[in-house]
Chains A and B, each alone.
Chain A
Amino acid sequence: MSESTDKQAANNKPSYKTLLIENIKYRTLLTEKYKRKKPWEKKNDKLLTAFIPGTVKEIFVKTGKKVKEGEKLLVLEAMKMENDILSPINGTIKAINIKAGDRVAKNELIIEFA
């Protein structure tokens, strides 16, 4: 190691964080991967999102309609495949955020249930 990097190392004091394991607080460094991890979110069945980016071909339901679990809501065309999007729950459609012909991104909110 050259002298300059030695000095750098001395100046760049490591930035220790606290990690709690079984009620004990450890002083330690965190990894990039650890810092990047996303907090877990409980899946909300009332918010339907696009599982793949694509184009909305046809919509079969209207706002206010009562639907059964497994009922066909719309067709989403992606990668030259027509995907039937089915209702995940028994419920009432509160909002439809798309119209036929729209392009949607992955994870875009398309339908909300009441």
Chain B
Amino acid sequence: MGLKRKTADLKKRMREAIRGGGSQAIKKQKAIGKKTARERILSILDAKSFHEYDLFVEHAGRDFDMDKKYLPGDGVITGTGTISGHPVCIYAQDFTVAGGSLGWMHAKKITKIMDHAMKLKIPIIGINDSGGARIQEGVNALAGYGEIFYRNTQASGVIPQISVILGPCAGGAVYSPALTDFVFVVDGVSKMFITGPEVIKTVLGEEISMEELGGARVHSEITGNSHFYAATEEECFDQIKSLISYIPWNNEKKAATFPKKPPKTKQFNLDEIIPTDPRQPYDVRDVIRAVSDDSEFFEIQELFAANIVIGFARISGQTVGFVANQPLVLAGVLDVDSSDKAARFIRYCDAFNIPIVTLVDLPGYLPGIDQEHAGVIRHGAKMLYAYSEATVPKITVIMRKAYGGGYIAMCSHHLRADFVAAWPTAEIAVMGPEGAANIIFRNEIKNAENPDEMRKQKIKEYKEKFANPYVAAAYGYVDAVVEPYETRNFLIHSLEISSLKAEKGPNKKHGIPPF
């Protein structure tokens, strides 16, 4: 056979493998508003950068007549490519081929590209669209999942791992995304659950739709399992590209530097954003925009536990992770969900050399039987653990109230913040003036001729004496009291001089965080 015929044969084989599940299955996929696996990869990666591997892998099923079946690529596409020049490994399950079901060779393709990502020290992106385990392959399908989970865990904190849920992802399959750093979902497309509506109906007699049980909205707002919510696949792909621009390739590198840009201070003026009355709300994201390059803020888990805000921005061209109480929602309290959300993000930033800027304005913890019974003690402790453990530069700005345990938890001096600034509006105290005055002056108030008048007076006295940043500053717990407009300069300088910070915790195998 001459070269011409050999290449013609190769082309024929490639055509067959690339057609996936065939035109009927592709038509079905498109009819429900989904792109094909190949289209998804090509939409995420830079043009002409995709290099596919293992196109000719064949499935290993031998029982139930599976040996007579041809499954192109065994239902998953894998390869490497670039996103705005950043190298990534990527795989996409192909629902048009046997429902994207996971058999042994399908799993081997995935674990091979994961191993590749670890060797090359570059991020891995996994696109999930699968009916689950390929039942015909029995225990080998389970083995496949187990091999993926093990690698997810080994890679955790070494390379960024991104999961994109663009179809069903049910049963054991959900645990790979759950082990990865960021989970992207799309409205009406993503469905994630351990047991589906059918089982729930049979066992518990409760009826619920797939969307209500484990749709994109539910995981973005209620469970917190997802980090990014998009209305369409295109929007989701843009979010992935933005994320990649903010994070480093691996845990030994820093995120890419961008040209410095000043914030849009006309639109986001710190002198106008914050009401001085600590009981009045405002959107803390405006504060983040007021101090960040080009006033750009890439928010993570926007819909979940909105009482705390987390996300990336750039200051002087460098990526920083923001953690900020949000007075606009639930007065910015810490609770089970917000502690869980922030603690994980702090650990992410620490693992990937991203400095953490903490903006403080909180009344404390959310009171409630539901909170206590949901384990707010254990979940709240995650914040203390994550901040104390983190060795990246930690910079804290106390804007208004910082009462009680909330003050300690929000990256205080005591958890080893490198720099703590407070605004003149800061109130750092063991509790809010009303509560404190009621306890300290209980007898004076009780025995007074007019207890209400006395209470008001004592609250006023307490406020004047303690509701300020100067008591904490007198002990050195606050390094500097700065005017709001100076905040960006304070952050730029603090970040610059701590760029060589190389702190190491005590030698240990690993800690035992309260999760």
- Could you list which residues of chain A lie within 8 angstroms of chain B, going by C-beta atoms? 14, 16, 19, 21-34, 37, 40, 52-53, 79, 105-106
Docked CA distance A21–B307 (Å): 14
Could you give 12 example pairs across A and B, Cβ below 8 Å? A14-B328, A19-B330, A22-B431, A24-B278, A24-B435, A26-B331, A28-B327, A29-B328, A31-B307, A33-B221, A52-B204, A53-B205
Question: In the complex the two chains form, is B204's CB within 8 Å of A24's CB?
Answer: no
Docked CA distance A34–B278 (Å): 22
Separation in Å of the B440 CB from the closest CB of chain A? 13
Which size bracket describes the interface of B in this complex?
35 or more
Q: List residues of chain B with CB within 8 A of the CB of A53.
A: 203-205
Separation in Å of the B368 CB from the closest CB of chain A? 8
Q: List residues of chain B with CB within 8 A of the CB of A37.
A: 368, 370
Residue ID in chain B nearest A28 by CB atoms: B331
Separation in Å of the B142 CB from the closest CB of chain A? 23
Which residues 198-223 of B sit at the A interface, judged by CB distance below 8 A?
203-206, 221-222
Q: List residues of chain B with CB within 8 A of the CB of A16.
A: 281
Closest 6 CB pairs of A and B: A26-B331, A22-B435, A53-B205, A23-B434, A40-B369, A28-B331
Q: List residues of chain A with CB within 8 A of the CB of B432.
A: 21-24
Q: Is the interface of A mostly helix, strand, loop or mixed?
A: loop
Question: In the complex the two chains form, is B221's CB within 8 Å of A21's CB?
Answer: no
Q: From A14, A21, A26, A30, give the contact of B367 (CB < 8 A).
A: A21
Separation in Å of the B34 CB from the closest CB of chain A? 27
Question: In the complex the two chains form, is A21's CB within 8 Å of B203's CB?
Answer: no
Q: List residues of chain A with CB within 8 A of the CB of B373.
A: 40
| A28-B328, A31-B330 as given contacts; A23 in contact with B435, CB under 8 Å | yes
Docked CA distance A57–B332 (Å): 52
Counting chain A CB atoms within 10 Å of each CB, which of B222, B279, B373, B404 scores highest?
B279
Separation in Å of the A97 CB from the closest CB of chain B? 17
Docked CA distance A21–B330 (Å): 10
- Could you list which residues of chain B lie within 8 angstroms of chain A, going by C-beta atoms? 203-206, 221-222, 278-281, 305-307, 327-333, 337, 363-364, 366-370, 373, 403-404, 431-435, 438
Separation in Å of the B497 CB from the closest CB of chain A? 36
Residue ID in chain A nearest B431 by CB atoms: A22
Docked CA distance A19–B206 (Å): 33
Q: From B203, B329, B369, B435, give the contact of A28 (CB < 8 A).
A: B329
Residue ID in chain B nearest A103 by CB atoms: B205
Docked CA distance A22–B438 (Å): 10
Question: In the complex the two chains form, is A21's CB within 8 Å of B369's CB?
Answer: no
Question: In the complex the two chains form, is B329's CB within 8 Å of A31's CB?
Answer: yes
Q: List residues of chain B with CB within 8 A of the CB of A29.
A: 281, 328-330
Question: In the complex the two chains form, is B222's CB within 8 Å of A40's CB?
Answer: no
Residue ID in chain A nearest B224 by CB atoms: A33
| A40-B369, A40-B370, A52-B204 as given contacts; A22 in contact with B329, CB under 8 Å | no
Q: List residues of chain A with CB within 8 A of the CB of B203.
A: 52-53, 79
Docked CA distance A52–B205 (Å): 9
Question: In the complex the two chains form, is B222's CB within 8 Å of A33's CB?
Answer: yes
Q: List residues of chain B with CB within 8 A of the CB of A24.
A: 278-279, 363, 432-435
Docked CA distance A34–B221 (Å): 11
Q: From A19, A32, A79, A105, give the contact of B331 (CB < 8 A).
A: A19
A26-B327, A53-B204 known, 4 other contacts, Cβ within 8 Å: A22-B435, A26-B281, A52-B203, A106-B205
Question: In the complex the two chains form, is A22's CB within 8 Å of B403's CB?
Answer: yes
Q: From A21, A25, A52, A79, give the contact of B333 (CB < 8 A).
A: A21
Q: List residues of chain A with CB within 8 A of the CB of B433.
A: 24
Docked CA distance A105–B370 (Å): 25
Separation in Å of the A33 CB from the closest CB of chain B? 6
Q: List residues of chain A with CB within 8 A of the CB of B431.
A: 22
Separation in Å of the B436 CB from the closest CB of chain A? 8
Residue ID in chain A nearest B369 by CB atoms: A40
Question: In the complex the two chains form, is B364's CB within 8 Å of A22's CB?
Answer: yes
Q: List residues of chain A with CB within 8 A of the CB of B280.
A: 27
Q: From B305, B330, B332, B369, give the contact of A30 (CB < 8 A).
A: B330
Docked CA distance A23–B434 (Å): 6
Docked CA distance A31–B356 (Å): 26
